């Protein structure tokens, strides 16, 4: 399927690995030029070079922590007039509700709510002016179905979801869509780290922890970054202009509900 976005330009934050990289690859496969970002220079530059070579698109890499205003300014300057924005950042660490401090909450809210909001505030005016734009925020299945030990994530992402719900409906008439993609378990470094934490808590191996978690998913497995990227690329496509303000679960059926 031709996604109709060849020659467009996208900014994908936190994209050297995992879901962000899956998105960058899927957009590149659709002919989209990219600006990608991550903190670690080595992995980021390697990813940029591999994607550029494989798909023949232009890929600019900007190293830095996307939750820092100074990094965002450099990323946005490199991005210029982007048509597509995909926001992503690392998720907060697991813990217990009783021990989280005000600073822990502020760090999570900064990374998983205020950073995507700031990127949208920077990119939306140009998209509106040009009459076309696509924004996808990578959030979490925890927005719909809380994961107790990830309470910092549940809290921050709920705030982002509220912002998007209203804003998406304000910008839609300008040809600009904003939606959220909610990953359930996907096979990335983040999932490996959470498996290791579960293994330590339950006194089993990380492989056993992963198998237990996969068994609880109707699809019987973790999702892949490539599947996630393909779904995101469709939301960024020319065909997705009527999908507005949605929260779309990619979780192999794990959220048990009729609607
Ligand atoms: P991942 O495999 O750990 O990859 C994270 C990517 O983001 C890396 O490229 C990392 O590179 C970059 N990154 C992290 N923090 C950053 C920051 N502050 N500034 C710039 N780049 C940053 O994680 P993932 O599994 O793809 O998860 C992506 C998001 O989806 C996270 O918010 C996670 O909580 C959420 N999520 C994931 C799952 C899952 O099962 N995988 C499920 C639900 C939600 P550097 O470390 O070099 O910066």
Say yes or no: CB of residue 252 within 6 Å of ligand 1.
no
What is the strand order of the sheet 247-250 is part of? 59-63, 33-38, 9-12, 84-87, 133-138, 176-183, 247-250
Question: 157 or 192, which is more confident?
Answer: 157
Index of the ligand 1 atom closest to the CA of residue 39: 48
**CA proximity to 84, closest of 196, 203, 178, 202:** 178
pLDDT band for 190, please (50, 70, 90 cuts).
confident
Q: Which pLDDT score is estimated for 144?
A: 95
pLDDT band for 122, please (50, 70, 90 cuts).
very high
Flag whether pLDDT at 198 surpasses 90.
no
What's the pLDDT tens digit per position in 41-94?
A: 999 999 999 999 999 999 999 999 999 999 999 999 999 999 999 999 999 999
Say yes or no: CB of residue 26 within 6 Å of ligand 1.
no
Residues 208-223, mean pLDDT to the nearest whole number: 95
pLDDT band for 197, please (50, 70, 90 cuts).
confident
Residues 219-242, mean pLDDT to the nearest whole number: 98
Residues 110-126, mean pLDDT to the nearest whole number: 98
**Distance between Cα 63 and ligand 1 center (Å):** 15
Index of the ligand 1 atom closest to the CA of residue 222: 40
Index of the ligand 1 atom closest to the CA of residue 47: 9
Index of the ligand 1 atom closest to the CA of residue 91: 34
| Helical packing angle, 115-130 and 69-79, nearest 10° | 20
Q: Which pLDDT score is estimated for 208?
A: 93
Index of the ligand 1 atom closest to the CA of residue 22: 26
For the chain, what is the mean pLDDT?
A: 97
Say yes or no: CB of residue 90 within 6 Å of ligand 1.
yes
Residues 154-168, mean pLDDT to the nearest whole number: 98
Residues 228-233, mean pLDDT to the nearest whole number: 98
Flag whether pLDDT at 177 surpasses 90.
yes
Q: From CA 247, how far away is CA 233, in angstroms rounded?
A: 15
Say yes or no: CB of residue 110 within 6 Å of ligand 1.
no
From atom 8 of ligand 1, which residue's Cα is the shortest distance away? 17
To the nearest whole percent, how much of the chain has pLDDT over 70? 100
**Distance between Cα 208 and ligand 1 center (Å):** 23
To the nearest whole percent, how much of the chain has pLDDT over 90? 95
The pair phi, psi for residue 16, each rounded to 5°, is -80, -20
The pair phi, psi for residue 180, each rounded to 5°, is -115, 140
> Does residue 256 sit in helix, strand or coil?
coil
Dig out the tokens for 139 from the structure: 């959030």
Say yes or no: CB of residue 157 within 6 Å of ligand 1.
no
What's the pLDDT tens digit per position in 10-41?
A: 999 999 999 999 999 999 999 999 999 999 99
Say yes or no: CB of residue 35 within 6 Å of ligand 1.
no
């Amino acid at each position: 399927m031709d996604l109709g976005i060849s020659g467009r330009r996208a900014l994908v934050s936190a994209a050297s690995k995992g879901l962000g990289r899956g998105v960058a690859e899927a957009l590149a496969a659709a002919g989209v030029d990219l600006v990608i970002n991550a903190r670690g220079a080595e992995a980021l530059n390697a990813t940029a070079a591999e994607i550029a070579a494989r798909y023949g698109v232009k890929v600019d890499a900007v190293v830095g922590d996307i939750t820092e205003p100074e990094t965002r300014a450099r990323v946005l300057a490199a991005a210029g007039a982007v048509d597509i924005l995909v926001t992503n950042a690392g998720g907060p660490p697991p813990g217990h509700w009783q021990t989280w401090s005000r600073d822990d909450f502020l760090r999570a809210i900064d990374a998983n709510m205020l950073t995507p909001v700031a990127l949208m505030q920077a990119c939306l005016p140009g998209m509106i002016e040009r009459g076309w734009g696509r924004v996808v925020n990578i959030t979490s299945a925890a927005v719909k179905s809380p994961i107790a030990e990830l309470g910092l994530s549940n809290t921050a992402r709920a705030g982002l979801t509220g912002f998007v719900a209203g804003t998406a409906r304000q910008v839609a008439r300008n040809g600009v869509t904003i939606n959220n993609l909610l990953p359930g378990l996907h096979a990335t470094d983040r999932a490996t780290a959470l498996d290791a934490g579960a293994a330590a808590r339950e006194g089993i191996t990380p492989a056993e922890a992963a198998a237990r978690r996969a068994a609880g998913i109707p699809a019987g497995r973790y999702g892949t970054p490539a599947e996630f990227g393909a779904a995101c690329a469709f939301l960024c496509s020319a065909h997705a202009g009527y999908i507005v303000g949605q929260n779309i679960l990619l979780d192999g059926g794990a959220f048990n509900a009729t609607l």
